Amino acid sequence: MTDQGDTPPTVFVLFGASGDLAARLVLPAFFRLAQEKLLPAQWQLIGSGRRQLSDDDFRDHVHEKLTEFGPKPEDGPREVWDEFASRLHFAGNGFTADDPGELVDKVAQAEQELGDGDPSSVQRVHYLGLPPTTFEAYTEALAAHDLVERSRVVYEKPFGTSLESFRSLDEAVHRVYDESVIYRIDHFLGKEATQQLRALRFANGLFGSSWDRHHVAAVQIDVPETLDVADRAEFYDETGAVLDMLVTHLFQVAAEIAMEPPKSLAADDIAQARADAVKAFRPLTTDDVVRGQFDGYRDIDEVADDSDTETFVAARMFVDTDRWRDVPFLMRTGKMMAESHQKVSLVMRDPQGGPYCAPDEAGNPDCADIPRRGNVVRFDLSGDGELGISMNIELPGSASALTTQWTTISLHDVHGGDPLPPYVRLIHDILLGDRTLFTRPDGLEEVWEAAGAALDGSAEIRPYERGSWGPSEALRLAEPVGWTLGDQ
């Protein structure tokens, strides 16, 4: 990580500061940056919301949420929390184009203090930790109250809810902001293991030479969750698994895997390579999608009795490039499933001949004794991340047989490393102005087009039992390879 010694004084405005996203992710990330000494030398965070809170009330709120979600203030030196808390402020009474509430005055005061009387030396970061339906109105309000100058703006996912709403929002945002200062967050791109995709492929000839349809039988991006949705049922019923996960996180990870080698590791080159990969995504058809809803979902408070919101989606997508033609990219996610994982697997092709493949009666190679899916390259995106490789090896001992063995590298244990949660990394990059891990509109518009039948409702909702691997119909999508997790 880069320290912030040369970063200008910064006012960080957090819209939705008392909401769930801020409590679970943004505020903990900011405190972690403070603990790591990765914030600018001079900064203030101003929480914005409709509530009436004093600065001390807001500090108490932040302390409470950090105690609940971590990192806990009490686990470190008291002076770290005291210093952090002194820079927290709150601007109440909401924020609209017609009425800025307390925000404009709070920002002006912070800039006077941070800029030593020269407010023009202070950069602004506006973080919209809000529902996507509010993005356009808040962007217009920032312009109406002259808060755009010297600022960067951060939008949470999803950036739009359909192709039409994406285009409308994108046009509205670009009326106010230049693309160079827009940061659309997809925290899966900030995960340590996601970034290892590039290193493994482009810094290792062994893997880079095998990253294609000749060596890979299937790509699987599998994010099952055991979690319920009861604590955010109203939001989830308006969103569903397709918007919450598929067209945001999973499609972007698929693009990271599918992209051609970028010209360099510069932000624009990586973003261009990712966008070009998305353009090659073949639109999903009804046959490529299985949508499901766990039993009892409609009984949850704040969920409609006739809701057809999916809590599970599996999709089989193809990437129409010479490198990946006819290789299925299998994506699956759902709530209330048997296990929780965040795993990306490249299932390597089985041998088609050789000494372990005895000829059958017709003289053709019979490789049945080689373990199925024995050779897999896997990236575990959860936590600090882990790389894993499974290989077929000779079973030690007197028996002449093959078995499969995994070897793993925990990124937490890499000597000299300091893995950080994705929101910590992404907010750090925003403060530095590094857009490498953020999406661009030309990589998003095609996502909505590729989503096809996953979005239009043409794939029927199928029930599945809590604690299962989802609707059994999803098994056919992975044939003949089969899913590497769960029921195969």
Q: Is 343 part of any known ligand binding site?
A: no
Which residues have CB under 8 Å from 400's CB, separation 6+? 394
Q: Is 377 helix (H, G, I), strand (E, B) or coil?
A: strand
User: Is there a contact between 459 and 289 (Cβ–Cβ < 8 Å)?
Assistant: yes
User: Is there a contact between 486 and 316 (Cβ–Cβ < 8 Å)?
Assistant: no
Active-site residue flag, 249: yes
User: Is there a contact between 123 and 152 (Cβ–Cβ < 8 Å)?
Assistant: yes
Q: Is 99 part of any known ligand binding site?
A: no
User: How far apart (Å, rounded) are the C-alpha atoms in residues 401 and 399?
Assistant: 6
User: Is there a contact between 126 and 146 (Cβ–Cβ < 8 Å)?
Assistant: no
- Alpha-helical (H) ranges within 14-156 are 20-21, 27-35, 55-69, 78-85, 103-114, 135-144
H or E element at residue 270:
helix 267-279
Handedness of CA 94, 99, 105, 108 (dihedral sign): positive
User: How far apart (Å, rounded) are the C-alpha atoms in residues 255 and 258?
Assistant: 5
User: Is there a contact between 440 and 179 (Cβ–Cβ < 8 Å)?
Assistant: yes
Locate 299 and state its tokens: 């009984």
Residue of 286, 293, 390 lying closest to 335 (CA atoms):
293
Encode burial over 302-331: b for 16+ CB neighbours within 10 A, e otherwise: ebeeebebbbbbbbbbbbebebbeebbbbb
- Alpha-helical (H) ranges within 123-221 are 135-144, 163-174, 192-202, 205-208
> Looking at residue 158, what DSSP letter applies?
P
Which residues have CB under 8 Å from 359's CB, separation 6+? 365, 366
Catalytic residue among 61, 63, 126, 249: 249
**Cα within 13 Å of Cα(422), Cβ side:** 19
Q: Is 191 part of any known ligand binding site?
A: yes
Query: Which amino acid does the sequence have at 153?
Result: V
H or E element at residue 278:
helix 267-279
Which residue has 């000779």 as its token pair?
394
Which residues have CB under 8 Å from 60's CB, separation 6+? none
Which residue has 């919450």 as its token pair?
244
Q: Is 384 part of any known ligand binding site?
A: no
Q: Is 335 part of any known ligand binding site?
A: yes
First-to-last C-alpha distance (Å) of the chain:
40
State the binding site for NADP(+).
50, 157
Residues annotated within a binding site for substrate: 187, 191, 225, 244, 335
The residues annotated with a catalytic role in the active site are: 249
**Residues annotated within a binding site:** 50, 157, 187, 191, 225, 244, 335
